[in-house]
Amino acid sequence: MTETTPSRQRHAVVLAAGKSTRFKSEKPKLVHDLCGKPLVCHVVDKLRRLDVGNIIVVLGHESETVRQALSESPVQFAVQAEQLGTGHATMCAAPALAGHEGSVLVVYGDTPLISHETLQSVFECREEQDADEVILTAIAPDPYGYGRVVRDVDQTPLCIVEEKDASPDQKAICEINAGFACFKIETLLENLPLLSSQNAAGEYYLTDLLALLRNSGRKVIAVSAKCFEETAGVNSREELAWAESHLRAEIASRWMKDGVTILNPATVYLDPDVTIGPDTIIYPGVFIEGKTTIGPRCKIYSGCHLLDATLEEDVVVDHCSVIRRSTVGRGTTVGPFAHLREHTSVAAHARIGNFVEVKKSVIGEGSKASHLTYLGDATLGRDVNIGAGTITCNYDGVNKNKTIIEDGVFVGSDSQLIAPVTIHQGAYIAAGSSITEDVPAESLAIARGRQVNKEGWAKGKAKKKG
Ligand code: UD1
Ligand code: CA
Domains of the chain: 6-231 (3.90.550.10), 238-445 (2.160.10.10)
Q: 379: phi > 0 → left, psi -120 to 50 → alpha, else beta; which?
A: beta
pLDDT exceeding 70 applies to what percent of the chain? 98
Q: Which amino acid is at 126?
A: R
- What ligand has the least distance to the C-alpha of 161? 1
Residue pair 312/296 in contact by the 8 Å Cβ criterion:
no
The pLDDT tens digits for 97-113 are 999 999 999 999 999 99
Question: For residues 66 and 213, what is the distance between their CA atoms, to the nearest angstrom?
Answer: 32
Tell me: pLDDT of 466 over 60.
no
Q: Which amino acid is at 98?
A: A
Q: Indicate whether residue 83 lines ligand 1 (CB < 6 A).
A: yes
Q: Indicate whether residue 111 lines ligand 1 (CB < 6 A).
A: yes
Of 319, 266, 263, 261, nearest to 294 (Cα)?
261
Residue pair 137/224 in contact by the 8 Å Cβ criterion:
yes
Question: For residues 101 and 177, what is the distance between their CA atoms, to the nearest angstrom?
Answer: 25
Of 214, 243, 241, nearest to 231 (Cα)?
243
Start-to-end CA span in the chain (Å): 99
Question: For residues 424 and 295, what is the distance between their CA atoms, to the nearest angstrom?
Answer: 34
* Ligand 1 atom closest to residue 205's alpha carbon, by position in its atom list: 8
Closest C-alpha residue for ligand 1 atom 11: 147
Helices (H), 115-161: 116-129
Question: For residues 445 and 312, what is the distance between their CA atoms, to the nearest angstrom?
Answer: 36
Tell me the average pLDDT across 314-336. Answer: 98
The pLDDT tens digits for 26-44 are 999 999 999 999 999 999 9
| Distance between Cα 235 and ligand 2 center (Å) | 5
* Ligand 1 atom closest to residue 19's alpha carbon, by position in its atom list: 26
What was the pLDDT predicted at 460?
A: 77
Question: For residues 40 and 58, what is the distance between their CA atoms, to the nearest angstrom?
Answer: 11
| Whole-number Cα distances in Å, 284 to 28, 278, 288, 432 | 33, 18, 12, 40
How many other C-beta atoms can be found within 10 angstroms of the C-beta atom of residue 105?
Answer: 23
Confidence of residue 3 (pLDDT cuts 50, 70, 90): low
Q: What angle do CA 341, 347, 352 make, to 5 degrees?
A: 55
Query: Helix axis angle, 116-129 relative to 39-49, nearest 10°?
Result: 50
Question: For residues 229 and 271, what is the distance between their CA atoms, to the nearest angstrom?
Answer: 19
Tell me: pLDDT of 162 over 50.
yes
Q: Indicate whether residue 40 lines ligand 1 (CB < 6 A).
A: no
Q: Indicate whether residue 108 lines ligand 1 (CB < 6 A).
A: yes
Of 401, 414, 322, 306, nearest to 361 (Cα)?
401
Closest C-alpha residue for ligand 1 atom 33: 18
Question: For residues 95 and 128, what is the distance between their CA atoms, to the nearest angstrom?
Answer: 26
What was the pLDDT predicted at 71?
A: 96
Question: For residues 261 and 8, what is the distance between their CA atoms, to the nearest angstrom?
Answer: 42
What was the pLDDT predicted at 465?
A: 58
Closest C-alpha residue for ligand 1 atom 13: 179
Residue 344 CB contacts under 8 Å (≥ 6 apart), including other chains: 326, 327, 358, 359, 360, 361, 362, 363
- What ligand has the least distance to the C-alpha of 149? 1
The pLDDT tens digits for 47-87 are 999 989 999 999 999 999 999 999 999 999 999 999 999 99
Name the phi and psi angles at 165, rounded to 5. -105, -5
Tell me the average pLDDT across 158-180. Answer: 98
- What ligand has the least distance to the C-alpha of 85? 1
Residue pair 311/293 in contact by the 8 Å Cβ criterion:
yes
What was the pLDDT predicted at 51?
A: 81
Grouping H, G, I as helix, E, B as strand and the rest as coil, residue 310 is: strand
Q: Indicate whether residue 63 lines ligand 1 (CB < 6 A).
A: no
The pLDDT tens digits for 182-216 are 999 999 999 999 999 999 999 999 999 999 999 99
* Ligand 1 atom closest to residue 201's alpha carbon, by position in its atom list: 8
Probe target for ligand 1 pocket from 66, 108, 203, 236, with the most ligand atoms within 8 Å of CB: 108
Grouping H, G, I as helix, E, B as strand and the rest as coil, residue 333 is: strand
| Whole-number Cα distances in Å, 314 to 213, 283, 292, 328 | 59, 15, 15, 10
The pLDDT tens digits for 78-101 are 999 999 999 999 999 999 999 999
Report the run of H or E that residue 126 belongs to, with start and end. Answer: helix 116-129
Which sequence positions are flagged as catalytic? 371
What was the pLDDT predicted at 1?
A: 43
Q: Indicate whether residue 90 lines ligand 1 (CB < 6 A).
A: no
Of 268, 331, 310, nearest to 323 (Cα)?
310
Tell me: pLDDT of 4 over 90.
no
- What ligand has the least distance to the C-alpha of 163? 1
Average predicted confidence (pLDDT) for the chain: 96
* Ligand 1 atom closest to residue 145's alpha carbon, by position in its atom list: 38
* Ligand 1 atom closest to residue 233's alpha carbon, by position in its atom list: 14
Beta strand segments in 377-460, E = 378-380, 385-386, 391-393, 403-405, 410-411, 416-418, 421-423, 428-429, 434-435, 444-445
What was the pLDDT predicted at 463?
A: 65
Residue pair 302/281 in contact by the 8 Å Cβ criterion:
no
Q: Which amino acid is at 329?
A: G
Of 183, 193, 192, nearest to 104 (Cα)?
183
| Distance between Cα 28 and ligand 2 center (Å) | 13
Probe target for ligand 1 pocket from 42, 86, 205, with the most ligand atoms within 8 Å of CB: 86
Report the run of H or E that residue 250 belongs to, with start and end. Answer: helix 237-257
Report the run of H or E that residue 240 belongs to, with start and end. Answer: helix 237-257
DSSP per residue, 38-103? EHHHHHHHHHHHTT-S-EEEEEBTBHHHHHHHTTTS--EEEE-SS---HHHHHHHHHHHHTT--SE
